[in-house]
Amino acid sequence: MRILVIEDDPKIASFLTTGLKQAGWAVDHAANGLDGLALARQGHYAAAVVDIMLPGLDGLALIGTCRAEGIKLPVIILSARASVDDRIYGLQAGGDDYLTKPFAFSELQARLHSLLRRTQQADPVATVLRAGDLSVNLLSRAVTRGGQQIELQAREFGLLELFLRHPGHVLTKAFILERLWDYSFDPQTNVVDVLVCRLRGKIDRDFSAKIIQTVRGAGYALKVD
């Protein structure tokens, strides 16, 4: 699942995006309200984390615009304002949850999971990705192949979700690095190869059909006959 972070403070933005990616989420970041609104309009996000004090367009105006346009993106509001009135105003403006700064990342992650569970119950959407006999539940993070449960670490899960969202497409090392580690491609690094090898060991090892394939000179692809 992809999370949208709209936060202008570089340190907080880095803290959020790094933590979410390490927890297995795919993340896009906008540093101002106008860019955040443009991304929200694309409709590719499971949820958004939105700061209130944003340049260009403040967080409450951004959320209000989304709701007026029928965008049902679940939103957690971040704010240094801790009064009951501020929280009520934020929720009335269209936010789904309200988290006061400073906060623990573990609490944000728990609130995201809770919000997504509530959203699924209220408005069911496709939260299970499949390829052949492989099934991935994005909410429970359960992975099965041929009825066999497979345990994945956070970044392995993120890579598998990336493959499943681009079935049959060749994913370059640069693309995988950008989505899972968020730093520029270094042709000398082997972190992608190591991660793919680990994922293959769990997804393909016990099955005759190998679905994670190497495309020489290009990257990797998930292909199911």
In percent, the amount of the chain with pLDDT more than 90 equals 53
Task: Output the pTM of the full model.
Answer: 0.64
Q: Which DSSP string do the residues of 166-211 spell out, in sequence order?
A: STTPPBPHHHHHHHHT-S---TT--HHHHHHHHHHHHHTTT-SS--
Q: Work out the average pLDDT over 1-8.
A: 91
- pLDDT-based confidence at residue 63 (cuts at 50, 70, 90): very high
Residues 38 and 137 in one domain: no
Residues 58 and 86 in one domain: yes
Residue 100 neighbours by CB under 8 Å, 6+ apart: 79, 80, 81, 82, 87
Domain count, the chain: 2
Read off the CATH number of the domain in which 37 is found. 3.40.50.2300
Residues 115 and 22 in one domain: yes
pLDDT digits (tens, 9 = 90+) for 68-108: 998 889 999 999 887 888 888 888 889 999 999 989 999 99
